[in-house]
Structure 1
């Protein structure tokens, strides 16, 4: 068995708690019991059974299973061909969203990879990594994201009806996150929809129903709020600020700034910085 326990992991979105690999003895089992975190096992060889929610799954090499927090589970290695598995245990704010994208849940805890070369390579590098440099925990968190990337790429999207894979709130959050990360680039509503994987018209309708405004308006307002911060908090020229929030056309930027903030960027900067200069 190889394992490592993270004591003070600084990553809140996705925290790797421990991981390892184990060639099990015949009949080796855990439970019935529960965990207080997420844990995914991937079977490298052999077979065994996994029980959860009144269901029993007969599993073999190339398959894996998810354990969710506070769910009673029992799993056991086969008596004749006991499994060898690797596992990763994790928690964090991004866990639920990543599992949704991988089509994994308490109701659908099983996955299977037809070609698992990527998975084996990822697990090997994670498990045989050593804490020998300052950026080790960052590196390990990166491998955990790579682990999820492989699961998502091979997800069985037929398991869940499309409308249940993500909630409307999840799609709205994805739009907001994309805008936050890319507002300085020349993005469009179409590029946002393509990134999320929904038709433009459907995503626009969904976003407006949830937020009361269009994606385009949200993007413009977000950019102008950022521009306002740059106007007051830096010595950048208006042209510099325009380019910093995704506008190559300074005249268009100034027009949109005035529409959102109520005055032109030069006036906005002057009126809000003047009092501090007078008081000095």
Structure 2
């Protein structure tokens, strides 16, 4: 197995590089891992590369296909896709790069959360990455073994996988909550219950109620109740519907239950609410 440590000169800036075959997973391996020095002027393109190349910006800044790249960003070169990357001449970057081969590269990079629409992503573990580089590129010691390099690269990847899964979970939870609120606002007049909402978003009712209250500060039932009260107030003041019709319009079939529910929530019956607020509206209109 080819496995050695060397220095290459890119634009008169020394870069430390490991060449070799470092297996990550089945049909996926590292062929090169390198670290530029600070204030590296290295740029590339426009052109294409034939392998996946993952770059972590450690300091400074630059651009990748016109997208700004700064410390805590990474950018991913995909095979046979035209790319250009270059540093900011006033704030040149330092970066770590990993070149990969094998048929399973794309699925592995996706699993670890490195596939993005623009090719640029956020890596929130720059400090840990700098620490890991001290192990990958030790000063004044023999080069690392293939197994050790594989281990440290997997550590780099695993940090991003944890962040990616957390982010993905947050996004999924946000989507479920948005769907729940949309469904309630759309179907409140149909007599829906929290169970119906949970069935709609395909979540366990207890779990949905928990994350709903965590997000909005009220239970699903309380949200439904408040919405039905606000809608019924609007109908009382802006329509000629009777109490039974208003109750039915907001998803409550029993008008007596609706009246008790309204009185308990608002502090007065629907009839008195309409009468008192109609007078207030008349007074407001007279004063204009």
TM-score, normalisation: structure 2 = 0.47
Name the larger-Rg structure.
Answer: 2
TM-score norm. by structure 1 comes to: 0.48
With a CA cutoff of 8 Å and minimum separation of 6, indicate the structure with the bigger relative contact order.
1
